[in-house]
Structure 1
């Protein structure tokens, strides 16, 4: 039986902004009253009111410090806690609370109460914990021990951010993050975490200045939502790594057949979608059409190059959906499936423009979740892999973007120094897992040959 290691939480507290001067407040009877900041149309999508969980492991080997820093680098939790307070001055909505007005719309009350912060210690080294590698549902240290416990008496969906820093005996540490998707998309959350890291490294201000500007996001006429359908699925976890050689071979095949280039993301989506489709067909799941959905950054389309758009940290994405006959997806070469994915991406600008004027019969943000659909989330370009608190970038980032009603594949990176793409899935039920695993492994084994 594999040894389990103990984690002890040593401190729990709210971290308010280290200065309250920028936090907006109205005045009523000569007393400050917190301002409630309006969220954008996308922020207020009901499906985004959920928690996003992730673990970020830092082995500490990349630290460069002078004599004055020797004491500082021994206490990563203290360093991150202090930096968080500074970052909350710039990103003051993260220190507030979500509230619902009389019309049922969610906003952010800029109360300055702070983010919940937990300090903890593990009784082992990160190496003994395998840098959190392996099945994220069965780690040597359970994820529940490395993620912060909620604030007693506070609904977890009312506080934008809670964080835990767990120090290991080797000098490394793990940052456990829980945030509410309503306040930021992946790029926005990554931008905020990099601001904390900038302060932790001693910078006088974040490299990217934050921009709220939720009014820049289009506010189209309300469209009908599809009938809600949340069918609970008994999904199984499977992870596989695709090397750069695997991906490069498909990119070359695609270029040879079309004369156009494709990205590593396109290849990983195509391989995963095709492997899953083949597994469903071979196991007798008779779907005429299958779908894949992913979420494209639309800052360049929705914010129209507005001043400060580069620092925008709200939700600014559009769901891209590709639909194809299951027989076609299953029988094509991978480059052919890449073309289906890229054709869907090519429609992005037109679809966003149409959505902005209410041109769809149903709201495209109100998604339906059925077993014939695969949802893909890409964590490689959000900024988390570059966040450096002074100990170098993370050796490993483990996202937990899984829901029991949603067949999901998360694209990340394997632990350093390994290169390539890690595909972490909970997208098939037990009957379809063996064939899905074989299909993914067959690509991983043969693509580089």
Structure 2
């Protein structure tokens, strides 16, 4: 019998600072009221997988990427700073110009031997994700990067960014600029805009009681929804309502319906759906330019129905409810900006009756090119969140199409029915 393949290992170099390639302004910069309300000090970890390309020389590719960071930081100088909190509860950016922590690493195998980093990972998260030296708090950093070379010529790029400073679209905008600089462009194609103080800072609505946390034992799984299945529901929506709907609307309706059937709450018990939507389009008259702004532009939305209402509803009816919830979200956001919000919409019920969905399928991380082509696959690594049922939407690895769902939303006793219901729709 053949010996089992050796467990892949990763050898990391110590983290090194990549400072801006030129002089940058000092001083401190405020964060926006949305940054401070929405994000707390959450770090987001994700991986971009790059198969071996014709580019060839790995060492030269790594050097060009490092230089891309240095040059991009001149334009995005706040990212080279640190998060400070001179007044408790009022974080800001200290423009120290120190730079970003950058880690070079080497894996002992080809990407294929590591199953192209498909789940469950055969290389641990800790080996693929950058962390600063032990004396540095990761919560004070704005962004860190690690590039891991594989023996086939491919790479994995691990990024850790502060959600206090960027939303996903903003972080992708910065990384696209890094790629442009690495590929030799003279400056980023999109001029970065800080302008956090242009966002209104309305009086805070009452916080209400602090949420109570229950740690759940979620089953983790991955499923793909085909383009055909999504199109079928879109066509149904169009024929029954004369309205267009998005892929997000369709996939979210599928998830909400299947999960509600699986957890089988009492008919009159509430089930809730939560999501965050981009509000960039609502800030046109507030920001100097929406294009180039890389701060948080998200606001929470959702809906509450009884278990029986969701079980009885068609997918078209649930899509319609989701579209209405998105319209309400826009109204609530504008209301919040003008100081009219009576309640804190960031308070989400963290219980088993709530499903929170996050769409990473078109944030922009899949379009980043550091000089060795676009990634074949991008996935998040914040798997340790076990206090709220969640689903993350990703683009599946190329050349597949459709939507990949990373599921962490049912416990073992509901897993079988949930899987069966999803398969009917996938």
- For 1:165 and 1:38, locate their aligned partners in 2 and report how far apart those are by CA, in whole Å: 31
Corresponding residue number in structure 2 for 1:32: none
Corresponding residue number in structure 2 for 1:39: 31
SS at match of 2:34: coil
Matched, 1:266 2:258: no
Corresponding residue number in structure 1 for 2:117: 132
Corresponding residue number in structure 2 for 1:98: 83
Corresponding residue number in structure 1 for 2:214: 231
Of residues 335, 338, 342, the one that matches 1:357 is 338
Change (3 A) 1:213 1:109: same
Deviation at 1:331, TM superposition (A): 2.2
Q: Is the 8 A contact 1:374 1:407 kept in 2?
A: yes
Deviation at 1:285, TM superposition (A): 6.4
Within-5 A mapping of 1:17-166: 17-20=20-23, 23-25=24-26, 35-45=27-37, 47-61=39-53, 63=54, 71=57, 74-133=59-118, 135=119, 138-166=120-148
Within-5 A mapping of 1:44-443: 44-45=36-37, 47-61=39-53, 63=54, 71=57, 74-133=59-118, 135=119, 138-229=120-211, 230-281=213-264, 288-304=269-285, 306-402=287-383, 403-443=385-425
SS at match of 2:164: helix
Stretches of structure 1 that go unaligned for 5 or more consecutive residues are: 26-34, 445-449
Deviation at 1:306, TM superposition (A): 3.6
Per-residue CA deviations over 1:413-446 (Å, capped at 9, x if unaligned) read 11111111001111112222222122112211xx
SS at match of 2:208: coil
Q: Is the 8 A contact 1:163 1:176 kept in 2?
A: yes
- For 2:99 and 2:39, locate their aligned partners in 1 and report how far apart those are by CA, in whole Å: 25
Which runs of 4 or more aligned residues in structure 1 lie more than 3 Å from their structure 2 counterparts after TM superposition?
284-287
SS at match of 2:35: coil
Of residues 7, 10, 14, the one that matches 2:13 is 10
Farther off after superposition, 204-213 or 400-409: 400-409
Farther off after superposition, 386-395 or 142-151: 142-151
What TM-score, normalized by structure 1, do the two folds share? 0.90
Change (3 A) 1:439 1:18: same
- For 2:6 and 2:424, locate their aligned partners in 1 and report how far apart those are by CA, in whole Å: 32
What TM-score, normalized by structure 2, do the two folds share? 0.94
- For 2:278 and 2:5, locate their aligned partners in 1 and report how far apart those are by CA, in whole Å: 41
Stretches of structure 2 that go unaligned for 5 or more consecutive residues are: none
Corresponding residue number in structure 2 for 1:447: none
Per-residue CA deviations over 1:55-87 (Å, capped at 9, x if unaligned) read 0001133x5x6xxxx65x553322211111111
